[in-house]
Every structure is written in structure tokens, then in C-alpha cells.
Structure 1
């Protein structure tokens, strides 16, 4: 069997057949088995798509984007780094265009023709055109559940350089309208600034919905001299109880586990109870997680309704 001719060195990993033809490649070459056809008219040097990241999936399709089209909805949120719904959920690729231009109609792509509106597209990973995160958050509400929207909202308004503010999310709802059952407004009411992870969001929600007090998010514990001892994911300062979701595989991160163990000791030395919630505590409706934190709060003097 003949070895395929070398592809031009400046040809991207993902390219259009039209581009390849303009560079002098024949039809037979772009049909060879060392290239994959993720979409009609597109070729990819990567043969095995298993494990392909969201950004790579978008890069595969990018050569087909028209000048007025961009990645939107959950695809845009993912490209901005927001947490996606948990496995086995697999985000689809959403590509939009504003009226009167046309959205794509390609198998494997969710095309959307949006209302006539001033575009707010940003340059994302690999220079891909990506919808503004605030707009993408609202768009994701057409398919996502409440808790997934809360986790994504927590991500957008947190971090050293937040991608949005609660006020901007509220303005987007006011301008463009809410969705079914006031889904976006309900999500907005539970979004908190300063959250570190989607797991932290998940734990906070199950605790509050389990009838426990509303915890402080990433609360800094200080000693009597005012020195910072530790930042606590979820804190109940009145009862000196801290809860944290510890879902890591520590056998693969022994150094970090040792540091955290010392940190937990420092927290307990200040007279606090430190509740570690593991993955198995969160299964089956997270009843075990709620019970662990409730027990610590009751031991510290909390009573339901007080």
C-alpha cells in the first residue's frame, strides 16, 4: 500500500477540503484513511476522536464557520471554562447566528438563529468566535437544569477575574426575558460570589435544601490575633462548623493530601468541627452528606427552625 503524500506543514490540524484543494491537494489525498472527516467538507489529522476535548471538537468544526456564525449556548460556556453538567452528559456543539443571517444546518451541530441584536462575540480559545458568557448562560437555560445553571453562574461571578457579575446576569434576564417556570430567576437567587468549584456548589445546595442553615462561602477563619488560619469552603460561624467536599483521589495526590490534613488540624485547633464530605456521601440524593453536617451542627447547639 502506498504511503500517503505528506501534507503541507502549514496546514492546520483541522482544515476545509476547499482549503486543501487550493493548496494543490487532489481529491484522492483528502479522502485517504489517515484523515478523518468529522463534518462534511472538513478533514482532521487526528484519526481517533475518543477523548476529544470540547475546544478540539469546536476547532474541528471551525473551518466551516461563516463570518457571522459563532459558538453559543452550553458550547460557549464550556469554552469560557464554566462547569458542564456531570457525566454521562455530553455537551452538544451549538452554533448561532443573529437574524437575518442564517445558522448552520449540519448533522451533529445544533444551529440557532437568534433575535436581531448587537453581537457580543468574543475571541475564545484558539481564536474561536464565542458568545458573551452572560448571554451564553441564559441560552444554556433552554436545555440545562436549575442546579447546572447555578453552578455555571457561580463560576462566572467568582475567581480573581470574574467573567460576569450578578447584576449583569439579572440585566440579561430583564432584557431578554426569563425561561420556563422562572428558571433563570430561580437560579440567579442561589448564585454566590467566591465559589471555587461546581462540587462546592452542589454541596451547598443539598445542605440548604436538606433544611440546614445557609452557609458562608469561602469564609476566612482567623485566630484570636486576627491571623488567617484557613479559608473554609462552607462555614457556619455561629456554630463553628465547616463542611467541605473532598472528592479527590488522594493516592494520586499524596503531597496535597498531607497539606490538607495539617490544615484540618489547624481548623480543629480553633475549636471548630471540620466535616469532610466524600464522593460516596453525595450519592443517592446526598442523604449521608446532609446527615453528617446536620449531626455536627446539632452537636454544636443548632436546632431546626432556630
Structure 2
């Protein structure tokens, strides 16, 4: 007779229903999702928005190490290496992964910039503060919602007046990244920074870079 022992998976009760703990859900998703989608799932759990934030990166690491490998732990550990706290959206995560794979340095996530005239603080999706370069991911709602579009124009004008060079990335740029990467490369060169080699996203390298990114939904 063979006895199989299993570890009871953590759960909690909500309105009379027993639900899987978020850590367990991540482990289960790890066996089904592509790498980038799993990174997005982790980022959403450690997001900047307090109502949405459900864990810390350290806590997810600890939980992953305590469960068996068949739960998807190896894939989740790999995703945790690419996950970062304080990200606001899947588009931001995909943009960050794109920049890192192209050879750009690690950006600061949701970097605060305060306008001394209005005392308004704005947060850049991704930033390289030492060079005053920012990268923003804009979903379609940034152009289809009037109030959002107006706020974006005021935001960009304010940041430009403070000396920031702001680059914009869309879902199309994630699918076909050369334009956005070339633009950021020029921004680095203008700032006196050392950009990565443009050959990282040309020819065969561009093809391989595109394959590493799953095209996002149009958002």
C-alpha cells in the first residue's frame, strides 16, 4: 500500500465561501500562464494601489518556497525574479520587460515629480531620474476619454517644463517595438547617458525580442 501525503493548501472564508489564498492561485496559474502573463499577475498582487495590493514580494517568495514543486513553484520563482512592486497596470509591466530585454537599465517605477509652481506631484510609470527621462504606457483610454486626454496634455507640458524628456509607449509598440526603442535610445544619447546598442533590436535580434513578448489586448 502506498500512502500519499498532501499539504493542505491555504484558504480563507469570505461570505461563507471557502476561497483559495492568492498565493495558491498564483501557484496554480504558474502551470497555465506564459511567463510575462504570470509576471503581470504577480505585479497586480503587489501593485501601488492599496485596495488592490494583496501581498508583498517577500511574502510570495516565502510562500512559494514552502510548497511543493508540482504546484508550479519553479515557474513562479522565475516570474518573481522579473516582478516589481508598485506597478499600476499590465501595460507598465510589459513596457518594463521590453526595456530590460532591449538592454536599458532598470527603471524606477512610479517615480514622483513635483511641480514647484502648483505643488502638484505626478508619477511617471517608468523613469530614469538621473537623466530626467520618463517612459509612459498609454492605453487607448488615454485618447478616447476627453478628460483623460486633457489631463495627459497638462501632465506632459508640466513635465517638459521641468526638463523631463517623456517617451510614450502604446500596445502597438509592444508588438512592434523598434520605434519606441529607437526613440528612447536617442533620449539617452541626448542626456549624455550610454544607451544600449541599437543592434539589440534590429534584424534577427528584433525578431527574437518580439517573440519574447506576448501582444497585449488593445487597452
TM over 0.5: yes
The change in CA–CA distance for 1:240 and 1:250 in structure 2 (over 3 A counts) is closer
Which stretch has the larger CA shift, 212-221 or 224-233? Answer: 224-233
Match of 1:170 among 61, 79, 82: 61
| Alpha-carbon contact 1:122-1:132 (below 8 Å) kept | no
1:134 corresponding residue in structure 2: 23
Deviation at 1:288, TM superposition (A): 2.5
Structure 1, gaps ≥5 residues long? 1-99, 101-113
Distance 1:241 1:134 in 2: 35
Write the distance in 2 (CA, Å) between the matches of 1:226 and 1:172. 44
TM-score in terms of structure 1 length: 0.56
TM-superposition CA deviations, 1:132-157 (whole Å, max 9, x none): 11111111111112111111111101
| 1:27 aligned partner | none
Distance 2:180 2:13 in 1: 40
The alignment status of 1:274 with 2:166, answered yes or no, reads yes
Scaled by the length of structure 2, the TM-score of the pair is 0.77
CA RMSD of aligned residues (A): 2.6
Aligned to 2:26, the other structure's residue is in SS state: helix
In the alignment, what sits opposite 1:160? 50
Q: What displacement does 1:208 show? A: 0.8
Deviation at residue 223 of structure 1 after TM alignment: 4.4
Residue 258 of structure 1: how far off its partner (Å): 0.6
| Deviation string, structure 1 residues 175-210 (Cα, Å, up to 9, x no partner) | 114467942222112211111001100000000110
CA offset digits 1:254-281 (Å, max 9, x no partner): 1210111001100001001011112322
What are the ranges of 5 or more consecutive residues in structure 2 without an aligned counterpart?
197-219
Greater helix fraction, Structure 1 or Structure 2: 2
State yes or no: 1:192 paired with 2:84: yes
* Residues 138 and 172 in structure 1, CA contact (< 8 A), matched pair in contact too: no
- Provide the C-alpha distance between the structure 1 equivalents of 2:69 and 2:179, rounded to a whole number of angstroms: 35
1:211 aligns with 2:106: no
- Choose between structure 1 and 2 for higher RCO, CA contacts under 8 A separated by at least 6 residues: 2
Q: How does 1:61-72 map to 2 (within 5 A)?
A: none
SS at match of 2:124: strand
Question: Closer, same or farther in 2 for the Cα pair 1:216/1:149, shift >3 Å?
Answer: same
1:291 correspondence with 2:182: yes
Distance 1:280 1:264, change over 3 A: same
Cα 1:153–1:118 change in 2 (3 A) is closer
Question: How many angstroms apart in 1 are the aligned matches of 2:9 and 2:172?
Answer: 47
SS of 2:11's equivalent in the other structure is coil
Please state whether the residue corresponding to 2:113 is helix, strand or coil. strand
CA distance in 1, matches of 2:178, 2:74: 27
Highest Rg: 1 or 2? 1
**1:10-38 residue CA offsets vs partner (Å, 9 max, x unmatched):** xxxxxxxxxxxxxxxxxxxxxxxxxxxxx
